[in-house]
Amino acid sequence: MKSNDWKERLNVVYSTNPNFSYDTEEEEEVETRLKEKQLLRISLDKRNRGGKAVTLITGFLGTTDDLTALGKMLKVKCGVGGSAKDGEVIIQGDLRKKVLEVLNKEGYTKSRII
């Protein structure tokens, strides 16, 4: 039996085609690359943050669970807060050198500071 969840059909025009199926716009997650092949870029960002500096790690290719795990590991090792979403990790403060050292020790050898 088909799922009749109306929330999945929001903003969809009704079709009279009996074989029509709704497209839910779910993207497939990319398989996580090996640590040695991840090209992570570490930068300092101050835009739209009220003058506060954050360390931004971009370039991660993989699942959201692996991104969250990487973000948590960096936050714990640096002893600060932050977040991990949309393919990037945000670490509070200017910790570019420390983040680079931690990533190199964990096996992310192609990481670099921009």
Q: Label residues 43-61 b or e (16+ Cβ within 10 Å = b).
A: eeeeeeeeeeebbbbbebe
Instruction: For the beta carbon of residue 80, count every other beta carbon within 10 angstroms.
Output: 15
Distance CA 4, CA 88 (A): 35
Q: Are 58 and 18 in contact (CB under 8 A)?
A: no
- What domains lie within the chain, and their CATH numbers? 32-113 (3.30.780.10)
Residue 9: CA count within 13 A, CB half-sphere: 11
Q: Which residue has the higher pLDDT, 18 or 76?
A: 76
Per-residue confidence (pLDDT) for residue 35, from 0 to 100? 87
| Mean pLDDT within 39-62 | 92
- Residue matched to tokens 């500071």: 113
| Mean pLDDT within 4-33 | 70
- 17: confidence class by pLDDT, cuts 50, 70, 90: confident
- 30: confidence class by pLDDT, cuts 50, 70, 90: confident
